[in-house]
Amino acid sequence: MPTRTTAKQGNLMFLRAATTVQTVAVFVQAITAGLLLSSPGHGALHSAGAYTVFVVTVLHLIVAILTWRPGGGSPGPILYAAGFLGLTLAQVALGIAHVKTLHIPLGVLMFGLSVLQLVWIWSGRRASPPSAAY
């Protein structure tokens, strides 16, 4: 039977994977945005990337919830994933409305936030209670 520490490590592995995939998807979306800005023929590629980022972000939220509940971890990753989903929905709406003046800076912000979350989740720094020295 796995110990609680082993279960937390396994859950952390899934959370790391979800965050990594999300960051890669947002990065690829930035590449397709550059292609779209340089040549209008890449709209379908950027649109497909938007669907991908949306699906990956929803899956990240699901993983964050499943990691928190049974593993007894912090709900912080859930708040981040839910906030990122909100930003993704805003980004999609701005893209559909062709509001480039907000769409592009929000995309840059999303990439920065995703990289920060990636560094945080892979650094292994956790807020944990100090251990008692007896």
Query: Which of residues 12 and 83 earns the better pLDDT score?
Result: 83
The pLDDT value recorded for residue 53 is 97
Domain boundaries, the chain: 4-123
Query: Which of residues 16 and 1 earns the better pLDDT score?
Result: 16
What is the pTM (predicted TM-score) of this model? 0.81
11 burial via Cβ count (<10 Å: 0-12, 13-18, 19+) = buried
**Which residues, other chains included, contact 15 with Cβ-Cβ below 8 Å and sequence gap of 6+?**
63, 64, 67, 77, 121
CA atoms within 13 A on the CB side of 4: 6
67-123 per-position pLDDT tens digit: 886 656 678 889 999 999 999 999 999 999 999 999 999 999 999 999 999 999 888
pLDDT at residue 125 is higher than 50: yes
CA 52 to CA 25: how far, in whole Å? 7
